[in-house]
Amino acid sequence: METGTSRVKRGMAEMQKGGVIMDVMSAEQAKIAEAAGATAVMALERVPSDIRAAGGVARMADPTIVEEVMKVVSIPVMAKARIGHYVEAKVLESLGVDYIDESEVLTPADEVFHISKNEFTVPFVCGAKDLGEALRRVQEGASMLRTKGEPGTGNVVEAVRHLRLIMGQIRKVQNLSKDELYHEAKTLGVPYDLLLGVHETGRLPVVNFAAGGVATPADAALMMHLGADGVFVGSGIFKSENPEKFARAIVEATTHYEDYGLIARVSKNLGAPMKGIEISKLESSQRMQDRGI
């Protein structure tokens, strides 16, 4: 009997496919998310848009919030650790969270090194904005990937950019010859073996979700259309006017992302989505996606 194997950790992410993982800040919100059909919740002290507004250093959530959420829902509970913060991740693992997000939404604890995730029993999800970042995170032990997007903006454009880039790079790698692959591995800064796997299978070695700016049912469906395996919704749900309705609508639109009549129906009278931010208005210091490459 073996725990924490790569098959067990990656398999857990496979079970999330086609699903919506929702940010929650309390036990009450977690129950709303579960009832709406979320496949997992991310327990946080503040959603990304509040982290943006508050400024300062964003850290791992108070363990009390994480434990309260774990107590009230039967679906998996995820929590965020700062990039490179080994101890925050160990603390979350000791609490028994089901997945750790080593996340650029929090202020990085290390400007060079990510956590060595292979030595943990708990699986990790990490953000990526291109194939190089994606495969570097897998090499460090990430069992699931997500686009970085630009969290807390309610603007899907960056998540679209990252997913399109990754899918395009995969298609390119599929068509390279062996000698070109050696060079491409060097250019991308990734291990040759992982790149060879992408070349042979035409896909990433782990599940890849969309994240960072998904705010509406149509946004979620767009990311599925572009090839995401599922969707993270951060501020989009509990910063909208009617979180319960929004959550249900995003779940339905993700499942039936090619049924446009259904997406039209669930999008009716949803109330106002979260207020968005135009990306070009962000100063470079506020761009979370540039953290941890």
Partner 1 sequence: MKIGVLALQGAVAEHIRSIGLAGGQGVAVKRTEQLGELDGLVIPGGESTTIGKLMRQYGFIEAVRDFASQGKPLFGTCAGLIVLAERLESGEEPHLSLMNMTVARNAFGRQRESFETELDVKGIDSPLRAVFIRAPLIKEVGENVEVLSTYKGEIVAAKQDRLLVSSFHPELTDDFRLHGLFLEMARQAR
Catalytic residues: 80
74 binds partner 1 (CB under 8 A): yes
d(CA 244, CA 288): 28
76 binds partner 1 (CB under 8 A): yes
39 binds partner 1 (CB under 8 A): yes
201 binds partner 1 (CB under 8 A): no
**N residues, the chain:** 293
Q: What is the x/- site pattern for partner 1, positions 87-126, by CB under 8 A? A: ------x--xxxx---------------------xxx---
Note whether 163 and 147 are within 8 A (CB): yes
Q: Dihedral, CA atoms, 122, 125, 131, 133, nearest 10 degrees?
A: -80
**Least CB distance to partner 1 at residue 255 (A):** 5
The H or E element that residue 186 is part of is helix 178-188
Q: Which one among 32, 40, 170, 206 touches partner 1, defined by CB under 8 A?
A: 40
**What is the Cα 80 distance to its own chain's centre?**
10
Note whether 249 and 22 are within 8 A (CB): no
Note whether 143 and 10 are within 8 A (CB): yes
Who contacts 164 (Cβ-Cβ below 8 Å, separation ≥6)?
Answer: 226
For partner 1, the closer of residues 8 and 87 by Cβ is: 8
252 binds partner 1 (CB under 8 A): yes
Tokens of 142: 């990430």
For partner 1, the closer of residues 41 and 188 by Cβ is: 41
Q: What is the x/- site pattern for partner 1, positions 203-242, by CB under 8 A? A: ----------------------------------------
For partner 1, the closer of residues 43 and 274 by Cβ is: 43
* Amino acid identity for residue 112 in this structure: V
Find the part of the chain contacting partner 1 (CB under 8 A) among 34-42, 160-168, 174-182, 190-198. 34-42
